[in-house]
Structure 1
């Protein structure tokens, strides 16, 4: 069996799908994308496949991963690691199909029977959050996530803190104490404001505060942790076990959030979550992406005992034009019941991509995140 062909599809709203075909007719799917940089990652995927994998046996996945990562003098970062991630997902999909088993069975077997998921509410600049939260709780979700704020100045006024406090207070009052609420700072908040904001939100018992500062300021996390007992989560913009090593060692992070389409795929994230377990750190994989990324997450969630919860993108505010279920031949594989998704039982990633639908809508995806500016015209963190 050899890799004989591959295709890449840019599909709405902002995703890139990879299809790898082998000489015996098997097909594996991956989702290598950096949101807003689909064309850049597409070029990286082509370079990796053309250089290292076309004509090769797909089964030695670890060797292929090491070759793609170490074969270049320059390594790491969002583009290369996302390209590797999507290829890695497709290779695992092929291997599962080769052996007639879900990927999690090849990774040691299940550690749970189902995976808890959470639902986004409130949009980019959070508004109408309480009503949206109640609607999702009525649909059966027991965990939600919301943005803490819109853009913030490096040192903002008390009103900005009051607005954030009022939003989560209203959501907490609406849904009660039995529902978990994750609060995403989205890297929009400076160290100074993160300390104030974390302390202000603590009375409303967030499940976690996410990315309180940008990853380039992870050295500030221990100081922020001193100002709150709320669990701290981060990791969506960290791309390898070497990036996570430092946050494990400083002890400030309670939940890591690697993205299966950014952090080297199934192979790398399984190693990262194993490291996290040794430091008594939970994992909640980042996944505001498409069905292949989500399926990859669920495979790792299934066999990793320290997984807390799974992000998923159904109805997320980014999904305009298409949603996560639109590319599946059988959408019921991601049917959420009581805030959980059942483990897939089909081989590989456990999903069946609707290839006709993918080909019908594939086109150059021109999604880019907005550029926000402060009142003085300077660029704000989005």
Structure 2
């Protein structure tokens, strides 16, 4: 069997899909994308395809090493996201070739399902009561955990009015959902170390499941001091792209949950290795996935074989998906049937999902040019979003 063709589709709301074809008629799907840089990643995918056309798609490890090591410059969000989508599609082909889910080729499952959480808002300008209602609705829909943005833009040293706003929002949500629902607070890298320390300490009374990206991953050394100010588990990793990025983070010992993204951090092959590294440090795995159905399917295949995976992000109903959602691209949306706060691991061959190619091609005619907001502080300087 040989790889014959790469085809990419930029589809709403902000995704990039990849289809890899073979001479035996087996096709694989991947989701290589950096949100807001889809066209850039698309170019990288087609550049990398030069290494794979005519090759045996089953030699996944060899292909991964070639894509990573053949270029003098390597790593980073663009190249690793392009590699991730290619890797997902190759695993999809391999699973279909052997007529089995990917997780069976990775040693077999250690779980049948995984807990999922729902995003409920909490961003700049969101009303506290609206966020609380969204959280309560998620719980009534069966979710046992939610995640919300905690902060608006923050200067290095900022007003305690902003701290009070965060605390009031979280208090309102906690009261709405009760004491036992998991609440993740995403700082989104918007805070800097001085204010992150304050937030981490002040949030403790609300029994937070984790705080996410209290500082940017470029500043992970600050986690030492933040960890010394709180007992809340600290999560990070969505903007880290390889096992080499995670190496020092795990060695330093100040992270409790890692969140690599299977569409950014080298795909199934690399995220499986990162998860195993974390297990050796007694660190939990919560794969990042505010993306589409292919990315989620890839995450679930990893979750199936990673003993330290404890919860999975998913994007159904997230505000980014206005106008179209992840189930719209599936032949059978029941594959992601959430029950009692959990989702089953897909049991079909490969990724376990069947993409509605007709709908993909239709939506690719619309495409997108999604960009994240650009925020500014009161003094006019650019703020983290």
If the length of structure 1 is used for normalisation, what is the TM-score? 0.99
The answer to whether 1:33 aligns with 2:33 is yes
Q: Residue deviations 1:199-244, cap 9 Å, x none?
A: 1111101100000000110011111100000000000000000000
Residue matched to 1:55:
54
Question: Hey, what's the Cα distance between the residues in 2 that align with 1:2 and 1:110?
Answer: 29
SS in 2 for 1:318: helix
Question: Hey, what's the Cα distance between the residues in 2 that align with 1:71 and 1:123?
Answer: 43
Alignment of 1:251-330 (within 5 A): 251-330=253-332
Q: Residue deviations 1:148-186, cap 9 Å, x none?
A: 111112211111101101111111111111100000000
Question: Hey, what's the Cα distance between the residues in 1 that align with 2:107 and 2:116?
Answer: 22
Residue matched to 2:245:
243
Residue matched to 2:144:
142
The answer to whether 1:350 aligns with 2:352 is yes
Residue matched to 2:6:
6
SS in 2 for 1:209: strand
SS in 2 for 1:349: coil
1:264 shift after superposition: 0.1
Alignment match of 1:157 (pick from 135, 156, 159): 159
Residue matched to 1:131:
133
Residue matched to 1:73:
72
If the length of structure 2 is used for normalisation, what is the TM-score? 0.98
Q: Which runs of 5+ in 1 are unaligned?
A: none
Deviates more, 1:359-368 or 1:201-210: 359-368
Deviates more, 1:15-24 or 1:363-372: 363-372
The answer to whether 1:373 aligns with 2:372 is no
Alignment match of 1:181 (pick from 180, 183, 187): 183
1:316 shift after superposition: 0.5
Q: Which runs of 5+ in 2 are unaligned?
A: none
Question: Hey, what's the Cα distance between the residues in 2 that align with 1:317 and 1:122?
Answer: 8
SS in 1 for 2:7: strand
Q: Determine if contact 2:115/2:342 at 8 Å carries over to the other structure.
A: yes
Question: Hey, what's the Cα distance between the residues in 2 that align with 1:61 and 1:11?
Answer: 26
Question: Hey, what's the Cα distance between the residues in 1 that align with 2:205 and 2:162?
Answer: 17
Question: Hey, what's the Cα distance between the residues in 2 that align with 1:216 and 1:270?
Answer: 23
Moved over 3 A (4+): none
Residue matched to 1:24:
24
SS in 2 for 1:29: strand
1:289 shift after superposition: 0.2
Q: Residue deviations 1:304-362, cap 9 Å, x none?
A: 11001000000001112211101000000001001110111100000000000000010
Q: Residue deviations 1:111-130, cap 9 Å, x none?
A: 11101100000253243211
Question: Hey, what's the Cα distance between the residues in 1 that align with 2:318 and 2:328?
Answer: 14
Question: Hey, what's the Cα distance between the residues in 2 that align with 1:122 and 1:18?
Answer: 30
Question: Hey, what's the Cα distance between the residues in 2 that align with 1:266 and 1:343?
Answer: 15
Q: Residue deviations 1:43-83, cap 9 Å, x none?
A: 0000000x200111100100000000000000000000000
Residue matched to 2:223:
221
1:145 shift after superposition: 0.1
Aligned pairs, number: 381
Alignment match of 2:336 (pick from 334, 341, 358): 334
Deviates more, 1:120-129 or 1:156-165: 120-129
SS in 1 for 2:18: strand
Question: Hey, what's the Cα distance between the residues in 2 that align with 1:179 and 1:355?
Answer: 38
Question: Hey, what's the Cα distance between the residues in 1 that align with 2:74 and 2:118?
Answer: 34
Residue matched to 2:196:
194
SS in 2 for 1:171: helix
Question: Hey, what's the Cα distance between the residues in 1 that align with 2:144 and 2:205?
Answer: 19
Question: Hey, what's the Cα distance between the residues in 2 that align with 1:43 and 1:225?
Answer: 40
SS in 2 for 1:326: helix
